[in-house]
Amino acid sequence: MQLQLRGMTKSFGDLVANDDISVTIEAGQIHALLGENGAGKSTLMNILYGLLRPDSGEILVDGSPVAFGSPADAIKVGIGMVHQHFMLVPVFTVAQNVELGDERVGPLGFLRTSEAEEAVREVSQRFGLEVDPAAIVEDLPVGIQQRVEIIKALTRDASCLILDEPTAVLTPQETDELLAIIRGLRDSGKSIVLITHKLREVREAADVITVIRRGRVVATAIPPSTSETELAALMVGREVSLTVDRGTSSPEAQTLQVRGLTVYDAADRVVVDDVSFDVRAGEILCIAGVQGNGQTELVEAIMGLQDRVVGEIHVGGTVTSHPETRRMLALGVGYVPEDREEDGLVSTFSLAQNLVLDTISTSRWSRYGIVDYARIDAGARELLAQFDVRARDAYVTAGTLSGGNKQKVVLARELSRDLTVLIAAQPTRGLDVGSIEFVHRRLIEVRDSGVAVLIVSTELDEVCALADRILVMYQGRVAGIVGRDSPRDDLGMLMAGVVPA
């Protein structure tokens, strides 16, 4: 099936997400849409899948125009989508998820479970996507869940498959498997659209690359003839260096020590299992691992944000067995939370207010319980300039900023105190390349000023760029702690729970 998008334009308020985009996707081709977060890739694909309506522009299938009012219309012409956030009902079985919306029923609408399971088995055998049709989806690892999504599209006879950031949640090995599956599908004549911001995958798998920047198509490239650096430059719109000038670390005394930390979740599951490690002053320890292997809970436990925690945490010379947030802050622990929208900022507060959230009760900003706004504003203006936050003034609400600027505000707040430890979870997730560079540089500076830095990241590139040592987590445990120069393959194996010899 040949799929053509012509002159697609879509705006949300003032923001033009897609500006006159034209793309042609040929049958039997893997077509990558490359662009930064917010470049407009997902908007474009949501239009193609009938989830959004374009302001103008048309979709042509094999040369004839079509109009999609809902995903049902897109499915009908043979477009299938694997969403970044899986569209699977967690409490349903694989077969139920696959058949939803296109159920196999007998008289009176009764479900024919065995037929539905057989249909899944048939497709999974034909395309080599192994999965148990009777398994409950929430019990499956994410890699398998993604398979279910692909099967879901294939059972609907999709001849064009759109994959939205499919590798974001996968281990490197799972990524390789997925790319192999995608190639297999292409060879059987399907057209594949791969939406991603990861250069490596694009170069590995794509037949054609369309680069999108700020809602416009800026280039079409053929992989072997275009290098990663060139692609990055196209994506960002200027020359970027893909590496951080990290200098050398000079680690000193052990500052943060975690001993035998175990965390239980609300459902009694062990999410962090007997984790111990040290971070020395002046070094960066990166916690690598696939999303959902206990990193989030580990960091929250250290910061006193988890309920059921066993184990000891040493900061400087102080030992805590039941960490409490206020105490950890007082000990000089800075914290950049994973979800900056929810946990990092109060989006309806001004930047100035956000910058003093954790220090408002100190004599610096208030006296006898009365807040001194003049001083807070002066301090805020200084910090905003220092951290290059692009905002009209210190009074705009935090919610109106872009992701990169939000993260700069969080960093500015945390670094405005005297720190001994800085914990940053997913510090660059969803940021544009410019902001990523800025954040990385700052983190290195913090390290060089003698702070113990703990970074959690699921991006292996980021881990390799920043870390002095790397701790890999798998299923709540420490799979291994290795030096920064370990081969990526070893890291990938550790992330899959396999210890390389």
Partner 1 sequence: MSAAMTAVPEAPAIAPVSPRRPLAMVAIAVFLGGLFTWLAPAGQVTTFIFNLGQQFFEIPDWSVNSRTAAAAFALIAVLAALAAWPLHMRRRSVLWPSAIMGAALIMSFLSWVASDESLPVTGLLQGSLLLAVPLVFGAMAGVLCERSGVININIEGQLLAGAFMGAVIGSLTVNVYLGLLAAPLAGALIGVLLATFATRYFVDQVVVGVVLNVLVIGLTGFLYSRFLSEDPDRWNNPPRLPNITIPVLSEIPVVGPVMFEQNLIVYLMYVTVILVQLGLFSTRWGLRVRAVGEHPDAAASVGIRVNSVRFRTVVLGAAVAGLGGAFFTLGSVGAFGREMTAGNGFIALAAVIFGRWTPLGSLGAALLFGFAYNLQNVLSIIGSPIPSQFLLMAPYLVTLIAVVGLVGKVRAPAADGIPFRKSA
Q: How many positions of this chain bind partner 1 (CB under 8 A)?
A: 54
**Beta carbons of 263 and 301 less than 8 angstroms apart:** yes
- Pairing mode, if any, of strands 421-425 and 333-336? parallel
Alpha helices, H only, 127-198 = 142-155, 172-187
Burial of 486 (0-12, 13-18, 19+ CB in 10 A): middle
Interhelix angle 403-415/373-386, rounded to 10 degrees, is 120
Which lies closer to partner 1 via its Cβ, residue 108 or residue 374? 108
Using DSSP's 3-state secondary structure scheme, residue 297 falls into helix
Q: Which helix (H) or strand (E) holds 472?
A: strand 469-474
**Residue whose structure tokens are 């120069």:** 485
Range 92-111, binding partner 1 (CB under 8 A):
92, 96-97, 99-103, 105, 108-111
Which lies closer to partner 1 via its Cβ, residue 81 or residue 315? 81
Q: Cα(186)–Cα(27) distance, rounded to whole angstroms?
A: 8
Over 231-258, what HEC string results? HHHHHHCCCCCCCCCCCCCCCCCEEEEE
Q: Minimum CB separation from partner 1 for residue 498, in Å?
A: 5
Q: Which of 26, 56, 62, 90 binds partner 1 (CB under 8 A)?
A: 90
Q: Is residue 52 within the footprint of partner 1 (CB under 8 A)? A: yes
**Beta carbons of 302 and 258 less than 8 angstroms apart:** yes
Q: Minimum CB separation from partner 1 for residue 107, in Å?
A: 10
Query: Which range of residues in 89-97, 197-205, 370-378, 386-394 is near partner 1 by CB under 8 A?
Result: 89-97
Q: Minimum CB separation from partner 1 for residue 155, in Å?
A: 11
Which lies closer to partner 1 via its Cβ, residue 305 or residue 309? 309
Q: Which of 22, 56, 70, 227 binds partner 1 (CB under 8 A)?
A: 70
**Token pair for residue 130?**
């192994």
- Pairing mode, if any, of strands 30-34 and 191-196? parallel
Q: Which of 142, 219, 270, 396 binds partner 1 (CB under 8 A)?
A: 270
Q: Minimum CB separation from partner 1 for residue 85, in Å?
A: 8
Contact map string, positions 454 to 493, toward partner 1, x by CB under 8 A? --------------------xxxx-x-------------x
Which lies closer to partner 1 via its Cβ, residue 74 or residue 182? 74
Range 424-443, binding partner 1 (CB under 8 A):
none
Which lies closer to partner 1 via its Cβ, residue 31 or residue 152? 152
Q: Minimum CB separation from partner 1 for residue 476, in Å?
A: 5
Closest listed residue to residue 211, CA positions, set 21, 466, 7, 339: 21
Q: Minimum CB separation from partner 1 for residue 80, in Å?
A: 10
**Token pair for residue 406?**
């939000």
Q: Which of 225, 269, 374, 392 binds partner 1 (CB under 8 A)?
A: 269
Q: Cα(281)–Cα(292) distance, rounded to whole angstroms?
A: 28
Q: Minimum CB separation from partner 1 for residue 278, in Å?
A: 20
Spatial neighbors of 267 by CB under 8 A, at least 6 apart, are none
Q: Is residue 158 within the footprint of partner 1 (CB under 8 A)? A: no
Q: Minimum CB separation from partner 1 for residue 275, in Å?
A: 11
- The residue type found at 222 is I
Q: Minimum CB separation from partner 1 for residue 266, in Å?
A: 8
Q: Minimum CB separation from partner 1 for residue 238, in Å?
A: 31
**Beta carbons of 490 and 469 less than 8 angstroms apart:** no
Q: Is residue 71 within the footprint of partner 1 (CB under 8 A)? A: yes
Which lies closer to partner 1 via its Cβ, residue 223 or residue 294? 294
Contact map string, positions 220 to 239, toward partner 1, x by CB under 8 A? --------------------
Spatial neighbors of 127 by CB under 8 A, at least 6 apart, are 150, 151, 154, 181, 184, 185, 188
Q: Minimum CB separation from partner 1 for residue 301, in Å?
A: 14
Question: Cα separations (Å) of 62 from 28, 50, 208?
Answer: 13, 18, 19
Q: Minimum CB separation from partner 1 for residue 283, in Å?
A: 24
Which lies closer to partner 1 via its Cβ, residue 267 or residue 370? 267
Query: Which residues does residue 367 pair with via DSSP β-bridges, in sequence order?
Result: 370
The number of angstroms, rounded, from the C-alpha of 182 to the middle of its chain's C-alpha atoms is 21
Query: Which range of residues in 186-194, 265-273, 313-321, 353-361 is near partner 1 by CB under 8 A?
Result: 265-273
Using DSSP's 3-state secondary structure scheme, residue 419 falls into coil
**Token pair for residue 463?**
């881990």
Range 12-51, binding partner 1 (CB under 8 A):
12, 46, 49, 51
Query: Which range of residues in 26-34, 70-78, 280-288, 384-392 is near partner 1 by CB under 8 A?
Result: 70-78
Q: Cα(462)–Cα(302) distance, rounded to whole angstroms?
A: 22
Which lies closer to partner 1 via its Cβ, residue 46 or residue 249? 46
Q: Minimum CB separation from partner 1 for residue 87, in Å?
A: 4
Question: Cα separations (Å) of 291 from 95, 142, 238, 492?
Answer: 25, 9, 31, 13
Q: Which residues bind partner 1 (CB under 8 A)?
A: 12, 46, 49, 51-53, 70-73, 75, 81, 83, 85-92, 96-97, 99-103, 105, 108-111, 152, 264, 266-270, 273, 308, 474-477, 479, 493-494, 497-501
